[in-house]
Amino acid sequence: MHYMLLYDYVADVAERRGPHRPQHLALLEALHAKGQVLFAGAWNDPLDGAAIVFHADDRSAVEAFVRADPYVTNGLVSAWRIREWRLAVGGT
């Protein structure tokens, strides 16, 4: 199954994310190396959120990432949601 994690960022995320960014990216890279995160990135202009595409058996892997993500635990994410994503073209 594919899941998309959608983040909404706080207005001053660009100023506040610096100390938390290395750990945030390390978590994503580790899951990418395992094949669980396929794509991840922030919206550009404005920097007001992000999307992360997961390949997992169920949504618990996505929920575990959210619980561990320093962007969430340090208040940089104002809201998040997980959507099951049914691919029409591409992917595995």
Indicate the pLDDT class of residue 87, thresholds 50, 70 and 90: confident
Mean pLDDT, residues 9-21 taken together: 98
For 23, the token pair is 């750990």
Hey, which CATH number is domain 2-85, 3.50.50.60, 3.40.50.720, 3.30.70.1060, 3.40.50.12780?
A: 3.30.70.1060
> Does the pLDDT of residue 48 top 90, yes or no?
yes
Query: Which whole-number Å values give the CA distances from 4 to 58, 63, 66, 71, 79, in the listed order?
Result: 12, 11, 12, 17, 14
pTM score, whole prediction: 0.94
